[in-house]
Structure 1
Amino acid sequence: MKKAVVFGAGNIGRGLVGRIFHEAGYHVSFVDVNPALIEKLNATHAYPLYVTMGDHYDKMIITDVDAIDGRDIPAICAAVNESEIAATAIGVNVLPIIARTIAAVIQERKEKGMGPFNFVLCENKINVHLTMKEYLKNLLDEETFAYAENNIGFCQSSIGCMVPAPPQELVEQDPLIICVENYNKIYTDAGGAIGQLPAIPNLIAYEPFSYYINRKLFMHNMSHCVAAYWGYQKGYTYIWEAISDPAIYETVEKSLHEVAQAMSYHYKTDKQELLFHGKELMNRY
């Protein structure tokens, strides 16, 4: 079976990244530092995923998984060396820590004469690949860093998946539960890869990647903000309440149309595709 490693077994790690790898037929090893979570994943080798579908959930079971303690460097190196791809979903504050682990992986791969390998960085930071390389430059000697530059790819990504908190009654049934919206795409920077990324459905490699960065910022984040700010002023609690207000809906829709027009002009892309994305966002809210 094909294998993948995911650094971070939290909401995005299991709710989005793990799901995409699982649906592509991969065995997924999660790297985490939560002992209870590690123990449970290794006991069950699976976890429940509840996909929100309007006013109900569709339950999925993500199987063929295990977990590795983030402090067990030899085990992490072994897992990466057996895998086709790795991803991080840890949060930007943890990047300096995980960089030390990745540096150890790179060192071992160099010593063993191993070839190209790619990390998909699913982090909420623009140019996170450059941040990671800066950390590694300070951790590796000159020769090993040169090896990394030629053999280890780091692909920044755009993560648009929303992960709501699960209802308490579901958590009490199974603490491994993850709730996630019905959206399972990761857009990643093709220009950051060394060679070709594996062909994985819903892992979409593209360049110039600034297109997806700006689409996320100026369509997804912007429309969410417009709905939230005006919804708050009108006394609503939830985004779905705000977007159900005809006046707010119209304003959000018009703002998305303006951004679609600008992005279509700037990137010479299909405006209708951007408008469809905007409509999809509003339906997801």
Structure 2
Amino acid sequence: MKAVQFGAGNIGRGFIGMQLSGSGYEVCFVARNERQIALLQKRGQYTVMLAGGLGGEDVSVVRNVTALRISDGEAVARQVAEADLVTTAVGAGSLKHIAGSIARGIELRLRENPRVLHVIACENTIRGSSQLKKWVYAQLDPALHGQAERLVYFPDSIVDRIVPVQQQEDPLAVKVEPFFEWVVDKRGTAEDFPAIQGIILTDELEAYMERKLFTVNTGHCVAAYFGYLAGCLTIQEAMRKPLVKIKVRRVMQETGRMLVEKYGLDEKAHVAYIEKTLERFANPGLTDRIERVARSPLSKLSYNNRLVRPAMLASRLGLPVSNLADAIAAALHFDSNSDEDAVRVQRVIRQKGIQSALGELTGIPVRHPLHKEIVSRYYRLNERYAAGYKLADGR
């Protein structure tokens, strides 16, 4: 079996490519990094290190791989035309840039040898495959749209594996956490969906989607923002601070109550999921920098993202949101000169004051009770840190 994987970054190699190879696929990475492409073509394999909870590592060799440049248009289209599966891990913002290559491959496939193809976007975004489909159809010959609708499937997907930015001596080697989750919307697949190890097929993707977003993604950025205020450099360092860990757990408990109420999740199972997530954040075998996880606060503070949306949903259900309010206030204190979003957030707060800025940055109405609570907690954090307060010291 043949798979085309767009993106040969840490997630592409350390997660998607690894799972596909382990499932018996020959994997062709489509990438931009010339050095990685040359090495993948020469070696046909690479190593993945699984960072254990005690700092130990298991090393796996991922075989039967090669690579092409994204600029090699005809060769890439030919690979797509002949593939059994197409996957992506390029970042949601880059999906539109690879859509043309996928469209050309689908055109060749439908004209020469029409058969079923699944295209799965494995991105940290909501309904990435649906987004990709729109970009592909915009560049696909309209005369082929009807045939494509019958044969080409774009099932939405959720992927979860912590892979920090890293510098390995070997440009192809990558270190990842042992835990992973890859969930695919069964409703968007053909009956003969190909076998891939580790994939969960579900009719309830929305529940999995929000469980992951409002537990893992929410908890991760909360650890980053409180870790930043505690003077930490990495998530692992932050999670060794008892009060940071308490803050993160309490936020995830609030999002958890909302998820249990909304989707009828098993409460005990979700508590176990929260505790497992805390273990993942603290994994001493990984080094995940605060700046990486905290970056782009404008996106993280937006109305439908990981902090504000669960807070609004919980508030609507009449559930507690005090810890989520505290987390949003902490995010509003993230002040990094190397992050354009953070610079803009601080500029808006200085120019308009926190009350007006909060509404502009988050979309939370001024009259909403959550707005008042966040402002109050923002000022409380201001007072504590102006007085030399250190979250890590618990004073």
TM-score by shorter chain over 0.5: yes
Residues 231-267 of structure 1 show CA distances to partners (whole Å, capped at 9, x for unaligned) of 2222222212222222222232232223223212221
> Which residue of 2 is the match for residue 146 of structure 1?
146
> Which residue of 2 is the match for residue 45 of structure 1?
44
> Which residue of 2 is the match for residue 9 of structure 1?
8
The separation in 1 between residues aligned to 2:48 and 2:136, in whole angstroms, is 34
> Which residue of 2 is the match for residue 253 of structure 1?
249
> Which residue of 2 is the match for residue 231 of structure 1?
227
The separation in 1 between residues aligned to 2:228 and 2:73, in whole angstroms, is 47
Gaps of 5+ in 2: 282-395
Residues 104-132 of structure 1 show CA distances to partners (whole Å, capped at 9, x for unaligned) of 11111211241211011012222223322
The separation in 1 between residues aligned to 2:96 and 2:235, in whole angstroms, is 34
> Which residue of 1 is the match for residue 80 of structure 2?
80
> Which residue of 1 is the match for residue 325 of structure 2?
none
> Which residue of 2 is the match for residue 92 of structure 1?
92
The separation in 2 between residues aligned to 1:10 and 1:80, in whole angstroms, is 19
The separation in 2 between residues aligned to 1:63 and 1:20, in whole angstroms, is 11
SS of equivalent residue, structure 1 residue 9: coil
The separation in 2 between residues aligned to 1:238 and 1:48, in whole angstroms, is 25
The separation in 2 between residues aligned to 1:36 and 1:228, in whole angstroms, is 32
Change over 3 Å in CA distance of 1:34–1:238 after alignment to 2 = closer
The separation in 2 between residues aligned to 1:21 and 1:68, in whole angstroms, is 17
The code of the aligned residue for 1:226 comes to V
State the Cα distance separating 1:196 from its structure 2 match.
4.0
Question: Conserved in 2, the CA contact under 8 Å of 1:20 and 1:184?
Answer: no
Q: How does 1:1-285 map to 2 (within 5 A)?
A: 2-54=1-53, 55-167=55-167, 170-171=168-169, 174-285=170-281
The separation in 1 between residues aligned to 2:99 and 2:144, in whole angstroms, is 14
Gaps of 5+ in 1: none
SS of equivalent residue, structure 2 residue 157: strand
SS of equivalent residue, structure 1 residue 66: strand
> Which residue of 1 is the match for residue 391 of structure 2?
none
By percentage of residues, which structure has more strand? 1
Question: Conserved in 1, the CA contact under 8 Å of 2:119 and 2:129?
Answer: no
Change over 3 Å in CA distance of 1:163–1:117 after alignment to 2 = same
Identity of aligned residues (%): 31
With the length of structure 2 as denominator, give the TM-score of the two structures: 0.66
Residues 34-62 of structure 1 show CA distances to partners (whole Å, capped at 9, x for unaligned) of 33221111110011212211323322211
The separation in 2 between residues aligned to 1:137 and 1:25, in whole angstroms, is 30
The code of the aligned residue for 1:65 comes to V
Structure 1 stretches of 4+ with a deviation exceeding 4 A read none
SS of equivalent residue, structure 2 residue 87: strand
Question: Conserved in 2, the CA contact under 8 Å of 1:256 and 1:275?
Answer: no
Residues 77-126 of structure 1 show CA distances to partners (whole Å, capped at 9, x for unaligned) of 44334432120111223222211011111111211241211011012222
Question: Conserved in 2, the CA contact under 8 Å of 1:164 and 1:181?
Answer: no
The separation in 2 between residues aligned to 1:116 and 1:205, in whole angstroms, is 18
Change over 3 Å in CA distance of 1:253–1:196 after alignment to 2 = farther
Higher relative contact order (CA 8 A, sep 6+): 1
The separation in 1 between residues aligned to 2:101 and 2:83, in whole angstroms, is 16
Residues 161-219 of structure 1 show CA distances to partners (whole Å, capped at 9, x for unaligned) of 1112335xx42xx2211121112331222222233422222122222211122112211
SS of equivalent residue, structure 2 residue 119: strand
The separation in 1 between residues aligned to 2:222 and 2:132, in whole angstroms, is 32
With the length of structure 1 as denominator, give the TM-score of the two structures: 0.90
